[in-house]
Structures are given as C-alpha cells and as structure tokens.
Copies of this chain bind each other. A is one copy, B any other.
Amino acid sequence: MRLAELQTPCALIERSVLERNVATMARRMAELGVSLRPHVKTHKCAEIARRQGGFQGDAGGITVSTLAEARFFAGHGFRDITWALPLDPERLAAVAELQRGLEGLHLLLDDPAVLAAVEAFGSAHGVRFSVFLEVDCGYHRSGVDPGLGEAFELARRLAESPVVEFRGLLTHAGHAYRCQGAAELEAVAEEERSVTAGFAAELRAQGVPVPVVSVGSTPTMSRVRDLSGVDEVRPGNYVFYDLHQEAIGSCRRRDIALSVLATVVGCYPQSGRLVLNAGALALSKDRGAEHVEGFRGYGALLTADGSRVLDHLRLTGLSQEHGHVQSFPPERAAELPVGSRVRILPNHSCLTAALHEDYVVVDGDEVIETWRPVRGW
C-alpha cells in the first residue's frame, strides 16, 4: 500500500526516524551507564515498547502513566513496570491483583497519609508493594522537597515499613519543557541528577538504603552529559519528538517521527486561507513551546511526502475537525487546491498520538503496517 492510498486524517510514524531515535537514546544511556526504562505513555503501543527494550538486549522495564497501560503492557509480556503517577490509594486492590503476574509493579508516593493507606491495605491483605519516594527536583508539580526533614523522615519510614519494598527515589524534571537551548537543558539535567542523587547519598549516609535513583525526561536525557549516581532514566517522548522538543533544543526537525496526514478541503486564495480535514481531534490543542520567540500555531506543514517544509503556511487555528491555515502571501494558497494533501508535524506528539485509534507506520512512500495503542485509565 502507498501513502496516497491512506484515508485522512491519520497518524503516520516514519519507521526509520522512530528507529533512529530509539537507537540513539539507547546508545547514549548505555554510554552514560544507566538503565533505560522508557515512559511508554507517549505511544502506548507494544510494538514501540519492544523496540525500545530490544536495544538493551532484554524485554526491559517500562514506565506507564495509567493502570490501563500497565494492564495492556503486562498482557503483552512486559513484566517490570513503574506506574509514574502519584498513587491513588483507591487503586491498591487493582494494583495488588495486577502485580501478582509481574516481576515488579512499582508505585510512587510523596505523602505520609498515602503510605499509611498502603500499609493498612498491605497488612489487611497480606500484600507487599514496591514503592518509590517521589522527589521534587525543581518542577514543583509533585514530590517531596528533599531539603525538608519530613522528606528524610518519609524515606526512612518507607525503608522500614514491613509491607513496603522501598524501591528508591524518582523524579521528573518537567521544568525542562520551559527551557530554551542546549545550555539550559543541560543545567536542568544536572539539577535533576544532583538533587536526586544528592538526596540518595544523604539517605545512605544516614543508614537508609536507596536501591534505585530514577530520573529523566526527554529534554534532559537528550542533552545530559553526566548521570553519576543515577541508576535508571525514563524519557518517553523521544521516540517521536515534536515541535516543542525542537523549539527547546531536544532534537532537530528531522528527528520528528510522528505526523498527521491531512487533506485540503477548502481553498480560498483571495483571502489566503486553506481548510484541512484535521482539527483539534486529530492534533490536540496543545500550543507547544509558547515561551520560545517565534513559536506559534498548532503544527508545522510539510508536503505530503514529508520532504519539504511549507514555510509560507501557518496552522493558525483548530476547530473540532477543521484545521485553519493562513498563507503568506495569500495567493500561494492556490498551490494547494481541494484534494491536495499535507503532512502536519505536531506541537506535542504524546497528545496527538493519543487521539488516534491506530498509527500507520510508513517508510517513505510505503505503508508498512498499523499499530494500535491502548487508551483510557
């Protein structure tokens, strides 16, 4: 099957770009001496997760964002899973059931009340849980502040709890998404490393064992130079990258593996407008790296074969199923009459991918296969 035979809108994965991204990250992390436990929330599909693990020579640990992902990947043979969302204690029964068939299902918490709930459940049901302490390394979304005594105390309680296997420290440097350029990304990567590894060293010095130090987002892991004191990293977006990652300096334009193929369904050269049949439900309304000067719109347009950037076109708005395009100069809109096709690079590939029932894997003009992700919670 050829690209031109696909129905639009649809999500395309350029296989060669995906495989290069996967190989590059695996090689860099191996060189830096850490395990790669990729976050599969970006794609939520088994075919990509297997490739991510394969380069390390094992079926590999993964990171997930939902219990639905955990169940799906467990069903596809993944046996060592970290659920990287602060634990909702109401899900403990579901966690206990799922972990029975796994080597490991690791949880996150940052609150003594949640530990108390874990201990109450574990004692009542005779179950042990593997638990990370989540650390705030500067993003200020979740996690304990390692500078506070209560963080130390919670780590000690985890390490001493009879129903918990204390897995170690885990952090996410989400503030890297607000960076611009390699130098800033390297600085956040170093903050992420030093805060978390430093806290682990303090804990160990006080007799609290810390088995695993887990860090790493795509922006920081794409630029990091030193991972001393780190055991594993959890980037996810790097399989696809996107315009946000390009804008902040994580990748080059040609590293973006995910795109949306769309058809022109309205052409108005007098006002320089085009309408595409890809709107908010094909792309998501993520506005990307708005803090970066010159970043604007809901995606970048390429020719359908992906070979050429259509710099004179801007994706200025999204209705539910319409993409609104403005041409500069206006008359060049006539170059793409109704029926023409374009490829759209997304601002945020994780959100775009999650809107599609299937991913169409292509190699240039050739359609290779279709992969189906999981959804929901």
Contact = CB atoms under 8 A, between A and B. Distances in A.
B375 A357 contact: yes
A111 interface: yes
A196 interface: no
Contact of A89 (B110, B339, B350): B339
Nearest to A139: B319
A280 B284 contact: yes
Interface in A164-192: 174
A285 B86 contact: no
Interface string A1-23: 00000011110000000000000
Copies in the complex: 2
Interface string A281-306: 11011110000000000000000000
Interface in A357-373: 357
Interface in A243-283: 263, 265-268, 271, 273, 275, 277, 280-282
Contact of A86 (B9, B86, B114, B266): B266
Contact of A286 (B8, B285, B375): B285
A322 interface: yes
A97 to B, nearest CB: 14
A376 B351 contact: no
A161 interface: no
Contacts of A91: 7
A89 B110 CA distance: 55
Given A266-B111, A338-B111, A375-B357, A86 B320 contact: no
B287 A88 contact: no
A231 interface: no
Contacts of A286: 280, 285
Nearest to A136: B268
A241 to B, nearest CB: 16
Contacts of A104: none
26 contacts: A8-B88, A8-B377, A65-B321, A66-B321, A85-B265, A85-B322, A86-B266, A86-B338, A88-B263, A88-B338, A88-B339, A89-B338, A90-B263, A111-B267, A113-B339, A140-B273, A141-B266, A141-B275, A141-B324, A142-B266, A142-B268, A280-B284, A280-B286, A281-B354, A285-B285, A285-B286
